[in-house]
Structure 1
Amino acid sequence: MIDNNISPFIKWAGGKRQLLPYIKEKMPLKYKNYIEPFIGGGAVLFGITPDKAIINDINKALINVYNQIKYNPIELMDFLSKIDIQSDVEPKEYYYKKREIFNDKIMKSEYDIELASLFIYLNKHCFNGLYRVNSKGLFNVPFNNSLAKSFNEDNIKAVSRYLQKVTILEGDFEVACQNAQEGDFIFLDSPYAPLNDNSFEAYTKEGFDIESHKRLAILFDRLTKKGCFCMLTNHNTVFIEDLYKNYSREVIKVRRYINSDANNRKGEEVIITNY
């Protein structure tokens, strides 16, 4: 492991900062490569900083941010500094203007350093740091009235240094795991299964439906047969319990900070392992 003081550079719905102590405690003592097919905000990656890591996500805009921090951190921070200075005059109006530019670049598939800087800025200044898109795949989260700085320079530099050792992929979770070998540790933190039949949390326009969860469970079985160490986190539901009934399960009580209803902010998550 690398002893770096690194923190996630964005907030992410379903982020694992709250579960990190439990995850660290349940990790295998020794493993070869670390693979995280649903990287999100990277709380686990940056919390354990493995020497050999492969990360992936289907969210192209998110993976673009990781690549820009890895290869162009100084230029990225220059963009962000200009955005932060300009936003001081009319913060709310400025936010919606930048959101429109961000969505225009998404529609044009312009995954560049400007898009990455807008992603980080919008994440810092949108409601609850929630990445949510509409049916067209366009970001639609409102302004949170924050005047906070969009980034921490020392942290971005530390993240960039660490990412030099990390292989960054973009695409389907199965493809990200196709070269996993015996002794590798795979941490699976997909978009969560619904708490009931009428709710679902999806953060890309493609979504992550029931069939996707079933496909993930099949992958979990396949990786187990390969001799990989697998850990998966999700809501503690009957559906998830049934999918992983043959594996070890630990239920953890959590607070859900993103839920707007304070009465629904308490819940249970489960950590599932095959070892």
Structure 2
Amino acid sequence: MNGVVPHIVQYQGSKRNLAPQILQYMPRKFNRLIEPFAGMAAITIAVAKQNRAKKYIVNDLNEPLIRILNEAIETPDLLIDSYSKVWNEQFLYPEGSVAHFYKVREDFNKGNKCAANMLYLLARCVKGSVRYSSNGMFNQSPDKRRNGTSPKNVASNVSRISSFLKGHVEFMSKDYREVLQIAKPGDIIYMDPPYQGVCTKRDSRYFSGIVFSEFVEAIEKLNQKGIDYIISYDGSCGEKQYGTDLPEHLGLQKILLKAGFSSQSILLGKKELTYEALYISRNLQDSIHFQNTQLSIFDSL
């Protein structure tokens, strides 16, 4: 159990399972880790568990996610107490637990975006997947097969996460470009932006997409400042590649990490492996000399 990276709640798109592979390409010790697209901060938690960085910046434009992380790390008892109340209410709600979910979702969309409500919606919704309407309303449905992560399990993980990170994190909810401006040499930036299929338009799977050209420009500025970074971006499944590679002039090393079998391909009887692309900045390539085995698609086959 001690080797497992804890997580607060199931979260679709989390890099928790890929964290051991991703951390191979980070130095053993560095000053500060910055996550501009943190989600539920799986990489921050993994790095902190190994005590690699002194400080952390955790940012996500979806502010309720940052509220969860802030309370989980800085005031874990408060979060667990509040979450327990919301979670237990579903068993007392006259119309049943599904109706209770919709009531919490309605309250959330009307403005009660406290950490406990967001955590409950994540814990109880289908696949732990955040979905938003075109006007920014949370519209994911409840998973009717389960009641969501119990407060006891959440408390166990939150306690461990707080022990790694309390007092060492700066929390933000800003545009990623503002966060990148804070970075200095000696920092490592880990970026897991919305993938190219949703970068140029609104998509219900993300609170906000990004524009590909603007993202490339932001990376160029990091290169000019000599900032080290790692980017998770797109990938492939079987013979299909998702999105185009980041431009060659950025000088990045692309590595394909084995992410397991595609659930969709299994349903179709194909059983195809999914790979996620990891891009390593030029400076970081030089600093770690790729001492670890590169998990490229060619090495993995």
TM-score grouping bracket, smaller chain normalisation:
0.7 to 0.9
Which is higher, the Rg of structure 1 or of structure 2? 2
Q: TM-score, normalised by structure 1?
A: 0.84
SS of residue in 1 equivalent to 2:140: coil
Quote how far apart the aligned CAs of 1:61 are.
Answer: 1.3
Q: Given that residues 5 and 158 in structure 1 are in contact (C-alpha distance below 8 angstroms), is that contact kept between their aligned partners in structure 2? A: no
Is contact 1:58–1:170 with CA below 8 Å preserved after alignment? yes
Partner of 2:21: 22
- Report the equivalent of 2:182: 179
1:147 and 2:147 are equivalent in the alignment = yes
How many angstroms apart in 1 are the aligned matches of 2:78 and 2:263? 32
Corresponding residue of 2:169: 166
**TM-score normalized with structure 2 length:** 0.77
Aligned to 2:80: 77
SS at match of 1:233: strand
Q: Which amino acid aligns with 1:268?
A: Y
* Number of aligned residue pairs: 262
Task: Please say which of residues 21-30 and 224-233 is displaced more in the overlay.
Answer: 21-30
Structure 1, unmatched stretches of 5+, are none
* Separation (CA, whole Å) in 1 of partners of 2:262 and 2:9: 15
Q: Distance in 1 between matches of 2:265 and 2:99?
A: 24
Q: Aligned to 2:98, which of 70, 92, 107?
A: 92
Q: Is 2:245 the counterpart of 1:241?
A: yes
Gap regions ≥5 residues in structure 2: 236-240, 286-301
CA offsets 1:109-129 (integer angstroms, 9 cap, x no match)? x55xxx210111111110000
User: What is the rounded CA distance, in whole Å, between the counterparts of 1:168 and 1:251 in structure 2?
Assistant: 30
Q: Secondary structure at the match of 2:30?
A: coil
Contact 1:39 1:57 in 2 (8 A): yes
Q: Which amino acid aligns with 2:256?
A: V
Tell me whether 1:251 sits opposite 2:256 in the alignment.
yes
For residues 160 and 41 of structure 1, do their structure 2 counterparts lie closer, same or farther at Cα, with a shift above 3 Å needed?
Answer: same
Distance 1:139 1:260 in 2: 29
Matches of residues 1-275 of structure 1 in structure 2 within 5 Å? Answer: 7-49=6-48, 50-89=53-92, 90-105=96-111, 110-111=112-113, 115-145=114-144, 146-148=146-148, 149-150=150-151, 151-161=153-163, 162-194=165-197, 202-204=205-207, 207-209=208-210, 211=211, 213-236=212-235, 237=241, 239-244=243-248, 246-255=251-260, 262-263=267-268, 266-274=273-281, 275=285
More divergent stretch after superposition (81-90 vs 192-201) = 192-201
Whether contact under 8 Å (2:258, 2:274) holds in the other structure is: yes
Change (3 A) 1:197 1:51: closer
Name which of structure 1's ranges 259-268 and 50-59 shifts more when overlaid on structure 2: 259-268
Judging changes above 3 Å, is the alpha-carbon distance between structure 1 residues 257 and 41 closer, same or farther for their aligned structure 2 residues? Answer: farther
**Identical-residue share of aligned pairs (%):** 24
Shift of 1:158: 2.9
Q: Distance in 2 between matches of 1:21 and 1:218?
A: 29
